[in-house]
């Protein structure tokens, strides 16, 4: 019985290389998919890594956001990777109403979150958009804890009225008093006469030039005897201040028309003007004219 011999198929060297490349790519894809599935099974689908604790710390326990898990959790839930993969934008927007729908029951159950399902970069970005939060650091503490450290914006002045609803930090960012860190001591009021204020989180450009005066009283020893109580912005780049001297509420002075262009020079003139006013038993100093301090009659104390 004769055997049938199959003809040998001859392949060129180029064809062999192409086939080898395709086989290699297929193997690599298989390995990547296998590793992904193994990683997902070991971590993302592993009940051992469900989030059971969320620690929120701020200002060594003194911050407004310290322990405030209730307000942080919605941001955590909206930072899930599967919420943003093909279902919505990174701002949590989806559909006609522009909002990603999160079931209320799910929003109340932190244990439904796997710690590896969270996009920590996205979570940090979301929290840093909160007007009262300056910086956020987040880390996973395996197997079940999310650690969030918040640096809050420190208010340096009220806007338009003492104990009002809005404040600014040293950079001029508008923040809500209800969400800001508790203020120790008294901070000044900046009166702008503006009918419409910037929204929380926005920079109040108009007050930025005078914020340096406040910082100088904290940073420069020679100015530490001055406590600014009120700053009223006037025309032509001048500000009028009410100042307590030496921490004594009864030792107060009204300094009119302080130029805001050079805060350090302005502070030197304020100190000199107050010293002169003390000698003359006056309460009001006008710095409108260069290198001069014009004393006027004692005004009534401002509330």
End-of-domain residue from the set 152, 167, 196: 152
Residue 39 falls within a domain, yes or no?
A: no
Domain of 91: which CATH number? 3.10.20.310
- Residue 280 and residue 178 share a domain: yes
Give the pLDDT score at 100: 39
Q: Share the mean pLDDT of the chain.
A: 81
| Beta carbons of 223 and 217 less than 8 angstroms apart | yes
Is a pLDDT exceeding 90 seen at residue 26? no
Residue 20 falls within a domain, yes or no?
A: no
Residue 122 host element (H or E): helix 120-127
Domain of 261: which CATH number? 3.40.50.11690
- How does residue 5 score in pLDDT terms, banded at 50, 70 and 90? low
Give the pLDDT score at 185: 66
Beta bridge partners, 241, equal: 231, 255
- Residue 137 and residue 186 share a domain: no
| Beta carbons of 51 and 114 less than 8 angstroms apart | yes
DSSP structural state of residue 89: -
Residue 29 falls within a domain, yes or no?
A: no
Is a pLDDT exceeding 50 seen at residue 107? no
Range name among 79-83, 128-132, 263-267 with the lowest pLDDT average: 79-83
Give the pLDDT score at 21: 78
DSSP helix/strand/coil, 21: helix
Domain that holds residue 169: 155-296
Domain total in the chain: 2
- How does residue 110 score in pLDDT terms, banded at 50, 70 and 90? very low
CB atoms near residue 224 (< 10 Å): 13
Cβ partners under 8 Å of residue 252, min gap 6: 229, 242, 243, 244, 245, 283, 301
- Residue 233 and residue 116 share a domain: no
End-of-domain residue from the set 121, 137, 152: 152
In degrees, rounded to 5, the angle at the alpha carbon of residue 199 between the alpha carbons of residues 198 and 202 is 75
Is a pLDDT exceeding 60 seen at residue 40? no
Tens digit of each residue's pLDDT (9 = 90 or more) over 238-263? 999 999 998 788 899 999 999 998 99
- Residue 172 and residue 84 share a domain: no
């Amino acid at each position: 019985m004769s055997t049938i011999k199959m003809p040998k198929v001859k392949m060129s060297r180029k064809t062999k290389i192409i086939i080898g490349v395709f086989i290699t790519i297929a193997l690599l894809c298989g390995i990547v998919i296998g590793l992904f599935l193994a990683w997902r099974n070991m971590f993302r689908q592993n009940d051992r890594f469900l989030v059971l604790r969320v620690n929120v710390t701020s200002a060594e326990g003194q911050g407004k956001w310290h322990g405030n898990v209730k307000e942080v959790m919605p941001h955590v839930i909206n930072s899930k990777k599967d919420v943003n993969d093909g279902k919505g934008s990174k701002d949590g927007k989806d559909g006609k109403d522009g909002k990603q729908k999160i079931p209320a029951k799910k929003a109340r159950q932190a244990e439904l979150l796997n710690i590896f399902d969270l996009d920590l970069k996205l979570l940090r970005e979301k929290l840093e958009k909160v007007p009262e939060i300056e910086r956020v650091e987040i880390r996973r503490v395996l197997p079940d804890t999310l650690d969030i450290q918040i640096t809050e914006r420190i208010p340096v002045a009220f806007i338009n009225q003492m104990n009002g609803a809005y404040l600014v930090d040293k950079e001029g960012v508008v923040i809500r008093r209800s969400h800001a860190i508790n203020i120790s001591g008294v901070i000044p009021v900046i009166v702008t006469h503006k009918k419409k204020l910037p929204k929380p989180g926005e920079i109040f450009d108009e007050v930025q030039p005078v914020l340096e005066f406040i910082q100088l009283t904290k940073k420069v020893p020679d100015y530490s005897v001055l406590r600014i109580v009120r700053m009223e912005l006037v025309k032509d780049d001048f500000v009028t201040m009410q100042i307590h001297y030496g921490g004594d509420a009864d030792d107060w002075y009204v300094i009119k028309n302080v130029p805001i262009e050079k805060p350090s020079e302005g502070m030197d003139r304020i100190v000199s003007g107050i010293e002169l006013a003390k000698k003359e038993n006056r309460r009001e100093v006008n710095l409108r004219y260069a290198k001069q301090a014009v004393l006027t009659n004692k005004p009534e104390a401002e509330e």
